[in-house]
């Protein structure tokens, strides 16, 4: 077993506290993975990321395939040596990026044809996605899947799901041919069609993956649809394996998904919010650019132990943002990523001490809800 999972406690609603065992150490769950798309973080340094307490990060196969390319990872040994990160790394398969590409792309039974960021045409198959992720040397790899828009009709969604299932088996076979001690997760698809979600969760969870992801959400569906589909999937996924909800979401989305039994998350929103000059707090969003913040001598959020709150007054961060100094966004990104992880730690502790339902109710009222619609995609 390359990745193991110990379930410590589950609440009646399904919220879980556990430990994800990886070859790079044990990771308490639920856990949030900051996104290092191109083996680098936006706005923050590797040391900044470490300071947020991150133990596992996500990187994107689609981007790494283009630059630096698999050969560079092969020569360095793996992504850990390449970027100087000793924690765990999860790589996605490229499926979501291909789905969200502007311009031409086509999916056949064989694989996905598309253009890389550099403009080169490329065919990514389930087998080649595994090969690239093996070269990258991530600790957790994802099987290539076909993601569809939430407005897709049932026929189109079923077709994409069937291809995803066929590719899941091909990914497992490719992984087995050249096992390198990495874990492989399968992805449940099915759009917002309940019957398809159930069919997909049953089919994918019957396969010998090390963990399971819920894909194809945060692509334009409503909050109710997202929560309903998440609950349908977690009810059918095996208890003893980790569950990962891909690309979701706002603090309230994370709270709702933890309540429904999800263990792992990734999202670019903490950084996107920072770019807007906004800070997550446990009492809503703080708009650091507002003129009233100019004289604020306290931290972004009293009690926060992040590097920003420990070292910079809010009034100074406000000033950096106003004069266009990139350090302003950096401090907010550090705070927002730390906050998201603090939320996960708080929920874990509430689950373990049997306080989850009370904490869930409190956080449902107090977490940020005023997020601009375009940021939620």
Q: Which residues are catalytic?
A: 92, 266
Pick 308 or 329: Cβ nearer Zn ion: 308
Q: SS3 for 214?
A: strand
Closest CB 60 distance from Zn ion, rounded Å: 27
- Contact call for residue 335 and Zn ion (CB under 5 A): yes
Nearer to Zn ion, 330 or 335 (CB): 335
Least Å distance, CB 259 to Zn ion, is: 25
Total site size for Zn ion, rule CB under 5 A = 5
Q: What would the two tokens of residue 181 be? A: 């001690």
Distance linking the first and last C-alpha atoms of the chain? 35
Q: Quote the least distance from Cβ 279 to Zn ion, whole Å.
A: 8
Please give the residues from 166 up to 185 whose contact with Zn ion meets the rule CB under 5 A: none
Nearer to Zn ion, 203 or 344 (CB): 344
**330 lies in the site for Zn ion, by CB under 5 A:** no
User: CB of 56: closest distance to Zn ion in angstroms?
Assistant: 20
CB of 215 to Zn ion, least distance (A): 31
Spell out the residues 6+ positions from residue 251 whose beta carbon is closer than 8 angstroms to its own. 280, 339, 340, 343, 363, 367, 368
- Listed ranges 67-75, 143-151, 155-163, 332-340: which one lies at the site for Zn ion (CB under 5 A): 332-340
**Angle, vertex CA 104, rays to CA 100 and CA 110, nearest 5:** 85
Helix ranges restricted to H, the chain: 46-51, 61-66, 70-76, 79-83, 95-99, 126-136, 154-177, 194-205, 223-236, 251-259, 269-275, 307-311, 314-322, 327-352, 356-366
- In the bound state with Zn ion, the residue whose beta carbon lies nearer, of 221 and 301, is 301
Binding mask 306-325 for Zn ion (x = CB under 5 A): x-xx----------------
CB of 300 to Zn ion, least distance (A): 5
> Among 41, 122, 117, 126, which Cα is nearest to 84's?
41
Using the contact rule CB under 5 A, the part of the chain among 129-137, 216-224, 226-234, 335-343 near Zn ion is: 335-343
DSSP string of 296-353? Answer: --S-SSTT--SHHHHH--HHHHHHHHHTT-THHHHHHHHHHHHHHHHHHHHHHHHHHT
Please give the residues from 196 up to 235 whose contact with Zn ion meets the rule CB under 5 A: none
The residues in 280-309 that bind Zn ion, with binding defined as CB under 5 A, are: 304, 306, 308-309
**Identity of the residue, 51 or 230, whose beta carbon is nearer to Zn ion in the bound complex:** 51
Q: Does 267 bind Zn ion (CB under 5 A)?
A: no
Q: How far is CA 228 from CA 250, 257, 331, in A?
A: 16, 10, 35
Contact positions toward Zn ion, by CB under 5 A? 304, 306, 308-309, 335
């Amino acid at each position: 077993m390359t990745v193991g999972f110990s379930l410590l406690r589950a609440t009646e609603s399904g919220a879980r506290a556990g430990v994800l065992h990886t070859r790079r150490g044990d990771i308490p769950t639920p856990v949030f993975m900051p996104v290092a798309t191109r083996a680098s973080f936006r706005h923050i340094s590797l040391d900044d990321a470490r300071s947020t307490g991150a133990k596992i990060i996500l990187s994107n196969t689609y981007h790494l395939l283009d630059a630096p390319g698999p050969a560079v990872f092969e020569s360095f040994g793996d992504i850990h040596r390449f970027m100087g990160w000793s924690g765990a790394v999860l790589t996605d398969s490229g499926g979501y990026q291909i789905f969200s590409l502007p311009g031409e792309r086509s999916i056949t039974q064989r694989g996905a044809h598309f253009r890389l960021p550099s403009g080169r045409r490329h065919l990514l198959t389930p087998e080649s996605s595994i090969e690239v992720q093996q070269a990258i040397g991530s600790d957790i790899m994802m099987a290539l899947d076909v993601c569809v828009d939430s407005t897709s009709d049932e026929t189109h969604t079923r077709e994409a799901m069937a291809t995803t299932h066929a590719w899941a088996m091909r990914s497992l076979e490719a992984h087995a041919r050249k096992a390198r001690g990495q874990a492989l997760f399968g992805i449940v698809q099915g759009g917002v069609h309940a019957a398809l979600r159930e069919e997909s969760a049953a089919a994918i969870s019957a396969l010998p993956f090390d963990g399971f992801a819920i894909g194809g959400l945060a692509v334009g569906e409503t909050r109710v649809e997202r929560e309903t589909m998440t609950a349908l999937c977690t009810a059918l996924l095996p208890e003893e394996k980790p569950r990962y909800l891909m690309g979701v979401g706002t603090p309230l989305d994370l709270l709702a998904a933890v309540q429904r039994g999800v263990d792992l998350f990734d999202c670019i929103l903490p950084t996107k919010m920072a770019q807007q000059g906004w800070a997550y707090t446990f009492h809503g969003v703080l708009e650091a650019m507002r003129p009233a913040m100019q004289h604020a001598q306290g931290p972004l959020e009293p009690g926060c132990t992040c590097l920003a709150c420990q070292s910079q007054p809010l009034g100074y961060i406000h000033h950096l943002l106003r004069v266009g100094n990139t350090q302003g966004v950096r401090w907010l990104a550090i705070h927002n990523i730390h906050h998201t992880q603090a939320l996960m730690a708080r929920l874990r502790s509430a689950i373990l001490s049997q306080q989850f339902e009370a904490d869930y109710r409190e956080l449902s009222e107090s977490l940020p809800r005023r997020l601009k619609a375009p940021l939620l995609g």
